[in-house]
Structure 1
């Protein structure tokens, strides 16, 4: 299931990218749409098989089943058409249930579509909710069902009905009475697997010519039901936070990176759990860790995520997988607090889930301190992508991460792994901004900055570290500070400030700029 859904994810992601760029004429849009529909059918097959085998990762919530049924009303009416009358009957004092609401919706929709197909000339579908008690006498005749209080959901149609022989095989996967190509035979088997995995009970009643009733019993919950927000109209949500994508399949990785970049996010990437921890340890700001559950290597993804969250306490984590095995699912249910996006997912589903995990608050951009020695520029200011930047850090992973962020801003920075190499590059005189760590093995960033500005007096220095300069009042060059971990927006702000201090040409007048007092840099590299 994992490998199959990885293949589907590559297809889905690339088809949506093509659709976004080329799907403007009807012929292309129609064929891309059909291809995406085929991917969805493949994903549904995999999901239904996992559901039947009770291997589906469930995220149960305490819900009010009557409220959930009302939310489905419009969807059911569209799916069943005008020839079928729908009636809902809800008993008073209905109990709450603990169940995965999305999977419950899928079950109800599947049962309704089965009922529609059994009523080709129209008919009536009745959805009934009521409290029920399964006593010891009843459960003694049904294996693996516990006595107790349940909420019963009954789905009844006035269709063709089933023979006893058909009823005996109705829950078998791939068994269908429909003509070839018109059904997978997985609708009822998926419902069966979901109900049993939810510790419930499912029962079938039918007679030829009289119709069919499917009764589902789901255990009562005494908890308080969650409130669901109204369904949105399907707009794709964008963001500007930084996301680290951890995925060992190169095709899946490149596709999801492009999808997230297209949604406005800054994206870093790692091929396995060890690489991911190296990026996290580099000090670069990361808002969300988006990682596959199943990857090769000694370090498991959940363990990597726990270590990453310890290094960056505010880090959000979103898992993705075509099949979770037991890494984050125990007893058929997601561990508390775990967020999972199942493959294959659409651009819309990715955008919605990422925003849900990150929250709706926008990225905070902190003003960067500047020294009072700054002067007004002598000419039109440059754009950040025009700056010639030298990035200096003796930690290779940190340097790689910084250069990746600069590339996202359109800057192909020169790089130096120590201060000596940086000074050698500065002799050429073709650097506008020195972006350096403060603590390095061969020379401090402060000393490097002093020597660099003696070589190039107009150089702007950005310290990408936390250390407070011991004699910051003696720093007579132009400088600012990026506190680790910093966001892409903060890096961009620091480079914009450097632009304001870099004249594009001598001719022309420069714009006025307000100058703020310097703040001390944080302690720690």
Structure 2
């Protein structure tokens, strides 16, 4: 279409042609007076999508949708009358899509005032529109959010500090409704002390000067209660003009309380971890210490049994044994602190226990200490180790006595107590529930904070050297923890100390302790397998058992013990240390031994259980334990208690009793002369058989196969051949036949896991011993051989 020259000239005067043609950021074109497009630039092609040949000659209304049909004409009318039309609105591209357009329409008139047409300037401002909409949405959301927020008090102040808005959080936290607070000065939320000190005004001045004020402090609610608040005040400006403040207040009372609670919990946890580590250390020390004490005690008692009739020796041995007892007490206290003391808890009435201790406490504390016992009515029962609790009370009372060198008052209190969730929240390993509280209070010198922090540590003491071990409180601590209870210490310099022990309540019936007379030293003749890795302890135990008449086998570890058990030798009782080296744990070894010998009795011993047979502070059901160090009397009594108790288990094979060879010296001398060859292809069985013979002082020749046995028979004269029946390469009967060819006077004894008939052994003298056999049975067989000679 031919462009009108005058319109084109005027259009170029408004927008230079070179710039119009080259720009792509704006759509710039001319319209005829009746709204027809007469020019088109690159910007129009890019923004609206039309090439020149498709849009020139088309009406301006083409850029609007049918819903906006009246807008183009109204725009042109506005430009014609006013000279200029400016607006923003949706326009349509060629592809049908819409964009947000900024439109400027200018009426083009020459000097004579005639309307030649219009110049149109169109810019795509969709991004601007989107940002604007986002701001509006954000503002709406912010208003809704602020009004709906209940965790924060959010409100506005004018430049003078008067409240101009109030949200739901402000209503909840501060307690005022909107109608009660609008127009009030915000200082009414401050404490009277802060208002008097000018704190509110300084807060506004700081916000005005710095742009923001932030602080924590106490604020007052409508009902007069106070809360700890975290406050932010932001200054609001319009240009350079301060128009007000935005204020956010958060109630952090619970957060502060939680932070303090966390700090306290962390401190308690650190203390608990430290005490746990110390407990493991002291438990390990006690184990080694008890082994040493066991060697000392056993050998001292053996010496006492032989030399105790002479007065001078009896006195010295008695002093040495008393020193061992003091060491054993020390080790026991270490184990108590480390929560490794095996407890035997029963249901007790704590008031009755305290009454039974009254005379002992008065003698221990002396006349300068006044003792008062306070027992609450309806006192509950508790389940604890009675003996250990008595030790704890006595130790705490002695500590109190030492804190009152010039005399004073000791108060022993028993009451029911409930530890709630709030209390146990900051104390590790303590459960909420019902407890019996034992309080021990003195009027002594008291403790400093630094001393209290270390009071439960073993060996920590403020007493002078030689006056106390520093184990009284640590023992009480370990006992409380191991019993499922709790212990607390309260003290103040110059005002005394209180120790409160909380023991778990039980609804069970009280079990009265039975008083038994001291047992006599009882001997026996059964076979005992001793399993002990400490060779000094092992040697001492073997000597003690032998002195009591028992036949003893020994093993250095669990694997050796199981080898002896599987050898077929009869064993009545397994006496084993709990803590053993090697791959197999002692309790597992004991289980496997009982499976192999169903009637086997098991007695554990240890100076440190390491939870192997003690769980929850109590011995596992059915487990018997003799703690180190033990006396010969205790060992003898425990063995007879277990071996005489046929109600628990039946031996795999009845143990034949035998007369102690000491009482038959003539027969023993004859047996000592026997030259014996023991043959067994199982090394463990051969070792066990040799050890049984050594108990009677018999050194036997040993062979692990028949061929080696024949070689020994060619070199040595032998009286008795003890041989297994079933062996590879050659049976025991074949060996016996060839042995008799070499030494016709030889006596043959067959050892077998099967019952041998008389016909099987008749041609060899008819003597056999079925596995497992006891020491007594072996001796009976050898006596039979001796009598036949």
Query: Would you say the 8 A contact 2:448–2:492 is kept in 1?
Result: no
Shift of 1:126: 7.3
Distance 2:425 2:473 in 1: 24
1:389 paired residue number: 676
Aligned to 2:467: 182
Q: Which residue of 1 aligns with 2:690?
A: 403
Give 2:63's aligned residue.
none
Q: 1:74/1:229 Cα in 2 relative to 1: closer, same or farther (>3 Å)?
A: farther
Partner of 2:330: 45
Query: CA contact under 8 A between 1:63 and 1:97: conserved in structure 2?
Result: yes
Aligned to 1:434: 721
Q: 2:595 aligns with which of 285, 310, 313?
A: 310
Query: What's the secondary structure of 1:482's corresponding residue?
Result: strand
Contact 2:437–2:502 (Cα < 8 Å) also in 1: yes
Q: Distance in 2 between matches of 1:146 and 1:73?
A: 29
* 1:338 and 2:642 aligned: no
Mean Cα deviation higher: 307-316 or 93-102: 93-102
Alpha-carbon separation, structure 2, partners of 1:459 and 1:224: 68
CA contact (8 A) 2:357 2:390 kept: no
Match of 2:346 in 1: 62
Are 1:257 and 1:267, in contact at CA under 8 Å, matched by a contact in 2?
yes
Q: CA RMSD in A?
A: 4.2
Provide closer, same or farther for how the CA distance between residues 202 and 496 of structure 1 changes in structure 2, counting only shifts above 3 A.
same
Deviation at 1:20, TM superposition (A): 3.5
Unaligned runs of 5+ in 2: 1-284, 659-665
Question: Residue 492 of structure 1 aligns with which residue?
Answer: 779
Match of 2:360 in 1: 76
- CA distance, structure 1, for counterparts of residue 486 and residue 762 of structure 2: 74
State which drifts further: 249-258 or 346-355. 346-355
Shift in Å at residue 183 of structure 1?
0.5
CA distance in 2, matches of 1:79, 1:452: 77
1:417 lines up with 2:701 in the alignment: no
Task: Give the alignment's TM-score, normalised by structure 2.
Answer: 0.53
| Cα distance in 2 for residues equivalent to 1:499 and 1:97 | 63
Structure 1 window deviating more from structure 2 (87-96 vs 139-148): it is 87-96
Alignment of 1:465-476 (within 5 A): 465-469=752-756, 472=759, 475-476=762-763
Report deviation, 1:271: 1.9
Q: 1:288 aligns with which of 567, 573, 580?
A: 573
3-state SS, counterpart of residue 107 of structure 1: helix
2:396 — aligned with what? 111
Which structure: larger Rg?
2
In the alignment, does 2:303 pair up with 1:13?
no
**171 and 230 in structure 1: CA distance in 2 versus 1, 3 angstrom threshold:** same
Q: What SS does the corresponding residue of 1:15 show, helix, strand or coil?
A: helix
Per-residue CA distance 1:283-331 (angstroms, 9 max, x = gap):
1122232333334333333333332232222223333333333444445
Shift of 1:478: 3.0
Q: Is the 8 A contact 2:677 2:718 kept in 1?
A: yes
Given that 1:128 and 1:155 are in contact with CA atoms closer than 8 Å, whether structure 2 keeps it comes out as: yes
From 646, 650, 655, give the equivalent of 1:365: 655
Relative to structure 2, which stretch is displaced further, 79-88 or 56-65?
79-88
SS class of match (2:702): strand
Aligned partners of 2:340 and 2:611 also within 8 Å: no
Matches within 5 A, 1:89-108: 95-108=380-393
Distance 2:614 2:715 in 1: 57
Relative to structure 1, the CA distance from residue 93 to residue 352 in structure 2 (aligned partners, 3 Å threshold; closer, same or farther) is farther
The correspondence for 1:263, drawn from 524, 544, 548, is 548
Change (3 A) 1:276 1:161: same
> Aligned in 2, Cα 1:214/1:441: closer, same or farther, shift over 3 Å?
same
Structure 1 454/192 Cα, relative in aligned 2: closer, same or farther at 3 Å?
same
Give the whole-Å Cα distance in 2 for the aligned partners of 1:285 and 1:405.
11
Q: How does 1:153-302 map to 2 (within 5 A)?
A: 153-154=438-439, 161-165=444-448, 168=452, 170-203=455-488, 214-223=499-508, 228-233=513-518, 235-302=520-587
Shift of 1:181: 0.3
Task: Provide the C-alpha distance between the structure 2 equivalents of 1:411 and 1:165, rounded to a whole number of angstroms.
Answer: 69
The separation in 2 between residues aligned to 1:439 and 1:481, in whole angstroms, is: 13
State the secondary structure of the residue aligned to 2:752: coil
More helix by share: 2
Counterpart of 1:513 in structure 2 is none
Structure 1 contact 161–207 (Cα < 8 Å) conserved: no
TM-score, normalisation: structure 1:
0.76
Q: 1:198 to 1:388 in 2, by over 3 A?
A: same
| Residues 350 and 382 in structure 2, CA contact (< 8 A), matched pair in contact too | no
Distance 1:464 1:72 in 2: 60
Distance 1:331 1:365, change over 3 A: closer
Structure 1 pair 16–72 and aligned structure 2 pair: CA distance change class (3 A): farther
Any unmatched runs of 5+ in structure 1? 369-378, 503-525
Deviations 1:385-440 (CA, angstroms, capped at 9, x unpaired)? 34333322222221111111111123223333333444555568954433222212
Task: State whether residues 375 and 414 of structure 2, in contact with CA within 8 Å, keep that contact through their aligned partners in structure 1.
Answer: yes
**C-alpha distance 479-180 of structure 1, shift in aligned 2 (>3 A):** same
Deviates more, 1:282-291 or 1:84-93: 84-93
C-alpha distance in structure 1 between counterparts of 2:573 and 2:667, whole Å: 37
